[in-house]
Amino acid sequence: MALSPDASTASATDGTGPEQTERVAETVEGFRVSLSNFDGPFDLLLNLISKHELDITEVSLSKVTDEFISYLRQLGPEEDLDEASEFLVVAATLLDMKVAGLLPQGELVDAESVALLEARDLLFARLLQYRAFKEVSAWFERCLRREERRHTRSVRLDEKYRNAVPELAWSLSVDDFAALALLAMTPKEIPHVGLDHLHAPLVSIREQAAIVVTLLRDAGTLTFRQLIAGANQPGVVVARFLSVLELYRHAALSFEQLEPLGELTLRWSAQRWSDENLATLGADYDR
């Protein structure tokens, strides 16, 4: 659902990047809530809910939503786009929930409002489920920590038994082996943007990224407004925005935004860019 934040500064020792959490946690200090285990927007949401000492009700929810959105507004231009985008999906989700909550309960006449309410229930259920897994993960951690201290016997087989070991079943050709080496040494998975919140992938992000690259590389600097000039489909605008995010991840561009919600200026800043990157950039979205 949410964008995973760019882990460009995340620790390399663990691909999951503990620092990523820290960075986001810093962003969130403005919320004045206890963030002992902050781990992303949903966590933040749960924290906010618990802060209001209420179960998830419409009232608390709209309050939480307001707080969340107002925090989002405060995110200044100095904030990383990645960090901000991390919150966008949750903000959208919350808005959905708020809208659903504001619907008069007794007047369920059209299918659309029923669907909205169902969507809200679904989101509640999902929050609860998320919390369940979060809680049980503490048990996992406890067990793993306890066991990592344990020592089991694990020594090399004595020479005299080694002759008896059955021949290794080997099926790799030398080319397979080289491919495996490449696989092992290349961080080749493409960070991708979840499009769960979009209803249908109408536009190819790869194509839009190609356009963005072409426009931006030629011009050097463009505002986002200029970049989407002439794009009259919302899907195209969204896809261009997402490709901007993706290109930022590839360190192909930088951006500037002088005031909140102000003009977004993009600058082509790729040190080494190969159009091959494009081939993989959109692969996840256009099927």
For the bound state, the minimum distance from the C-beta of residue 205 to another protein, rounded and expressed in Å, comes to: 10
According to the binding rule CB under 8 A, does residue 181 interact with another protein?
A: yes
For the bound state, the minimum distance from the C-beta of residue 85 to another protein, rounded and expressed in Å, comes to: 12
According to the binding rule CB under 8 A, does residue 274 interact with another protein?
A: no
Decide whether 33 or 190 has the Cβ nearer to another protein: 190
* Binding residue (CB under 8 A) for another protein from 23, 41, 75, 242: 41
Instruction: Please give the Cα distance from 209 to 135 (Å, whole number).
Output: 39
Instruction: Please give the Cα distance from 49 to 124 (Å, whole number).
Output: 12
**Residues in a beta bridge with 255:** 266
Q: Which two tokens stand for residue 263?
A: 């003009």
70: helix, strand or coil: helix
Decide whether 54 or 136 has the Cβ nearer to another protein: 136
* Binding residue (CB under 8 A) for another protein from 32, 78, 105, 133: 133
Decide whether 155 or 261 has the Cβ nearer to another protein: 155
According to the binding rule CB under 8 A, does residue 111 interact with another protein?
A: no
Instruction: Please give the Cα distance from 5 to 16 (Å, whole number).
Output: 11
Q: Which two tokens stand for residue 257?
A: 């935004």
* Binding residue (CB under 8 A) for another protein from 23, 192, 206, 240: 192
> Considering only residues 208-237, where is the footprint of another protein by CB under 8 A?
none
Instruction: Please give the Cα distance from 74 to 61 (Å, whole number).
Output: 20
Instruction: Please give the Cα distance from 192 to 189 (Å, whole number).
Output: 9
> Considering only residues 42-61, where is the footprint of another protein by CB under 8 A?
42
**Residues in a beta bridge with 268:** 253
